[in-house]
Amino acid sequence: MVIVIWLLVIIWNLGFGYWIFICGEVMPSKIEIDKERCKGCALCTISCPKGSIRIGEEINRQGYFFVVWDNNGSCTGCAICAEICPDVAIQVWRDK
């Protein structure tokens, strides 16, 4: 019983995003990037555990190279990218 409670505490402390990341292999998800809000800071690119976001080759109306998402089916919907973005430029859509 103590072990079960201990495991539940660990799972709780991992946080919802990482729990989704762990379960994400069976939860295909997608993200949408608002290119006009993006300032190309690259925080999301270094934060994505799947390495599926990269700085693109086009600039937006603000003059920044905005990020693009490589949709290779590996997105888990963990939403780390959306949570770390200071400009709220990323939306995450999770399949059930």
Are 94 and 76 spatial neighbours (Cβ–Cβ below 8 Å)? Answer: no
- Which residue number, 11 or 94, has a Cβ lying nearer to ligand SF4? 94
How far, in Å, CA of 8 to CA of 59, rounded?
45
Q: How far is the CB of 13 from ligand SF4 (least distance, A)?
A: 19
Q: How far is the CB of 65 from ligand SF4 (least distance, A)?
A: 9
Those residues whose C-beta lies under 8 Å from the C-beta of residue 67, and which sit 6 or more positions away, are 33, 38, 40, 42, 44, 45, 53, 54, 55, 56
Residues forming contacts to ligand SF4 in the complex (CB under 6 A) are 31, 33, 38-44, 48-50, 52-53, 67, 75-81, 84-85, 87, 89-90, 92
Q: How far is the CB of 64 from ligand SF4 (least distance, A)?
A: 8
